[in-house]
């Protein structure tokens, strides 16, 4: 087994708030991330696919095909969007890096041209990233 990773970057805005809470509670828990008009990040996404090397191609997965799937199912939906309102795969969740990563996982897990999705890493800032390896 060998893993292959594709890296992408996208820009998006979000606001962290829980609609079930008061304004005061939201401000207390989310601080600056609760800013009413939102704020933006330049996200870096890493998608790792694991599998066996296909003897005919020498690939685990053709990175051109993987890139196209990521573009269609993730980049076109998230890049230059407001993650609170524009993105169907994030509807009803607080768009934290954790929830964005699991949303991206669900967009990709069943759509890969070859191999198995092993890991999603989402860097929200230089210093903060989350990693998701699927349920269980």
What is the set of active-site residues? 33, 80, 124
Residue tagged 């990521």 (tokens): 70
Among the residue ranges 1-9, 28-36, 63-71, 88-96, the one whose residues contact Ni ion (CB under 5 A)? 28-36
In angstroms, give the least distance from the CB of 95 to Ni ion.
8
Tell me whether residue 41 or residue 77 sits nearer to Ni ion (CB atom): 41
Tell me whether residue 19 or residue 55 sits nearer to Ni ion (CB atom): 19
Compute CA distances 62 → 28, 59, 80, 81, 106, whole Å: 46, 6, 27, 28, 20
In angstroms, give the least distance from the CB of 100 to Ni ion.
10
Give dist(CA 78, CA 100) in Å, integer.
Answer: 10
Coil/strand/helix, residue 20? coil
Residue 126 has, within 13 A of its CA and on its CB side, a CA count of: 0
Contacts to Ni ion from residues 29-58, by CB under 5 A: 33
In angstroms, give the least distance from the CB of 76 to Ni ion.
21
Which chain residues interact with Ni ion by CB under 5 A? Answer: 33
């Amino acid at each position: 087994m060998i893993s292959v990773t594709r890296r992408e970057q996208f820009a998006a805005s979000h606001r962290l708030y829980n609609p079930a809470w008061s304004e005061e509670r939201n401000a207390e828990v989310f601080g600056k991330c609760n800013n009413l008009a939102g704020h933006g990040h330049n996200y870096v996404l890493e998608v790792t696919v694991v599998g066996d090397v296909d003897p005919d191609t020498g690939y685990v997965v053709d990175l051109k095909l993987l890139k196209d799937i990521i573009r269609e199912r993730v980049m076109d939906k998230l890049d230059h969007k407001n993650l609170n309102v524009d993105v169907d795969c994030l509807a009803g969740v607080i768009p934290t890096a954790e929830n964005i990563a699991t949303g991206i996982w669900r967009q990709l897990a069943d759509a890969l041209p070859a191999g198995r999705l092993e890991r999603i890493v989402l860097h929200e800032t230089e210093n903060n990233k989350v990693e998701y390896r699927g349920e269980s």
